[in-house]
Chains A and B, each alone.
Chain A
């Protein structure tokens, strides 16, 4: 797709795309968002076009957009994109299954919205931060983690999601190895795997703590070392969205999983994994 003139009226069909547009500084031209676009908070004030899976087509048409952004494959339905194109609207669809893919989408969205330069800068900065993080984590063993998407029933993320890729960049590897995107797991398999850390994504740490307090006496959960020793990382829910803030979430997670890697002096090179663990528990208690 080629957009000759920068679009002046943009509709976003996904929370991640809305975030991306704000990060690219084109929010003035954003005229419609979904019911779920809650970041940044100003996005809540934009005109709504309904849900992401079932957007209101006539509302989109009424906003007279010259560009509609969709998150194909992972959120918006193909029928929606087809219907909008049949109505003669320009639709640009992104889809990313890796962190690199998210960065590329950011760059592309920058290009199609006429803020290519800002997009390049943003992506360069994000890449820089990721490579610094990679250096910090160099030589450290990957933490074996269980990413808890939902605890009852237990749902985690499969290997083809950008989320699992984000875990890798944060110095973690998922104990789940499946091509399903959002697999339902058996707790006994998790007990067998004994992940070093449980990772939760939430905007409210207290909520997760409450959940954990409930889970810790339940069979299965109480047999997890990570639960008994409270080795839990709570990251911002930005880790669930293929948008630039994903890099913030990756850094946040890396700090919790590998706290010693972030100490100013590298004198603590001799710190063992044991020390790492103690500190991470300490960090958690402070939260």
Chain B
């Protein structure tokens, strides 16, 4: 492994930011309604110099009212899921771990479905209930995953998996016995979907939660590197393993809960992006975490652009896109690593 310098971290991030900006411009241009590059550049220019009022109104609605909020949501969700995935992979010391492995998404889905059955008319109730469901699941799995007073990787994994499948069973039960009109959008929700933009009231909550979650995991990066060599070794090197595990568990769970509560369970991103980034930038968590955040954002922005355009005007759920593209990429990375 090459020695990691601060410079290299900066360079890696700079390159990824440029790629992300490219993906954003592409996502702003492409969609069911064709928009020429000239129009897009002109309007971006107008916005840049603060004369957005001169834009044609329809154009403004499509590019800035519909596409941009969706892209911002894609960036948030992609970053949250990838960092959570990297965190869970380190915490559980299992390369197959993804943000949903411990049942957070099932808890969120159960919260969402209950809100749709009980009180669909209250505004913002679905994301709030989804987050509450995720939080309750996180707490329950935390207690299931403790052994001798601290989190234990394999106990946590088993506790999480059984919780996830129990919650899925409850969801199935509710969906078949209470199946009615309001559950129509539920399938989209379970598959992951970005078509509902983040409500303005929630934008700040989400942004702050994302920043806190990612920073918390980043603050443990050096310790996570030492944990790669084994738990006992890390303890001997002076790592407060108990605290690190708790921080990573809570932060990764909250990131997943936030993402699921606004977009449903988008698969593969949290599993795949950290692996792809390990291959690109190495497995040092000090560069892997920011790279995963950016890489996740790029992946979801591109996947959602595909979902919006591939069968336009019909929109596909973004989860179907990430799974379609994700599985082959995963196999590719796997084969490459074995060689």
Question: A residues near B, CB below 8 A?
Answer: 35, 48-51, 53-59, 61-62, 64, 73-75, 77-79, 83, 87-88, 180-184
Determine the chain A residues whose CB is within 8 A of the CB of B65 once the complex forms.
Answer: 61, 87
Q: Could you tell me the distance between the alpha carbons of A79 and B70 in the complex, rounded to whole angstroms?
A: 14
Q: Is the interface of A mostly helix, strand, loop or mixed?
A: loop
Q: Could you tell me the distance between the alpha carbons of A54 and B316 in the complex, rounded to whole angstroms?
A: 8
| Cβ contact within 8 Å between B32 and A180 | no
Smallest CB-CB separation from A153: which chain B residue? B176
Q: Could you tell me the distance between the alpha carbons of A51 and B176 in the complex, rounded to whole angstroms?
A: 23
| Cβ contact within 8 Å between A56 and B314 | yes
- The reply to whether the CB of B313 lies closer than 8 angstroms to some CB of chain A is yes
8 A–B contacts from the bound complex (CB under 8 Å): A49-B313, A50-B313, A54-B315, A58-B32, A59-B32, A59-B312, A181-B181, A184-B176
CB distance from B65 to the nearest CB of A (A): 6
| Cβ contact within 8 Å between B314 and A35 | yes
Q: Could you tell me the distance between the alpha carbons of A87 and B69 in the complex, rounded to whole angstroms?
A: 12
Question: B residues near A, CB below 8 A?
Answer: 31-33, 58, 61-62, 65-67, 120, 176-182, 184-185, 188, 193, 195-197, 308, 312-315, 317
Q: Could you tell me the distance between the alpha carbons of A78 and B66 in the complex, rounded to whole angstroms?
A: 17
CB distance from B128 to the nearest CB of A (A): 15
| Cβ contact within 8 Å between B184 and A61 | no
Knowing A62-B33, A181-B180, A182-B179 are in contact, say whether A57-B195 is a contact too (CB < 8 A): yes
Q: Is the interface of B mostly helix, strand, loop or mixed?
A: loop
CB distance from A227 to the nearest CB of B (A): 25
Q: Could you tell me the distance between the alpha carbons of A57 and B62 in the complex, rounded to whole angstroms?
A: 8
| Cβ contact within 8 Å between B180 and A180 | yes
CB distance from A212 to the nearest CB of B (A): 26
Chain B CB within 10 Å — which of A59, A73, A87 has the most?
A59
| Cβ contact within 8 Å between B58 and A64 | yes
Chain B CB within 10 Å — which of A56, A78, A79, A184 has the most?
A56
| Cβ contact within 8 Å between B313 and A73 | no
Q: Could you tell me the distance between the alpha carbons of A245 and B193 in the complex, rounded to whole angstroms?
A: 34
CB-contact partner of B33 in A54, A59, A77, A183, under 8 A = A59
Determine the chain B residues whose CB is within 8 A of the CB of A64 once the complex forms.
Answer: 58
Q: Could you tell me the distance between the alpha carbons of A73 and B183 in the complex, rounded to whole angstroms?
A: 10
Smallest CB-CB separation from B123: which chain A residue? A82
Q: Could you tell me the distance between the alpha carbons of A68 and B317 in the complex, rounded to whole angstroms?
A: 23
Determine the chain B residues whose CB is within 8 A of the CB of A35 once the complex forms.
Answer: 314
Smallest CB-CB separation from B61: which chain A residue? A61
| Cβ contact within 8 Å between B195 and A54 | yes
| Cβ contact within 8 Å between A58 and B184 | no
CB distance from B198 to the nearest CB of A (A): 12
CB-contact partner of B66 in A50, A57, A73, under 8 A = A57
| Cβ contact within 8 Å between B185 and A56 | no
Knowing A64-B58, A87-B66 are in contact, say whether A180-B177 is a contact too (CB < 8 A): yes
Smallest CB-CB separation from B317: which chain A residue? A54
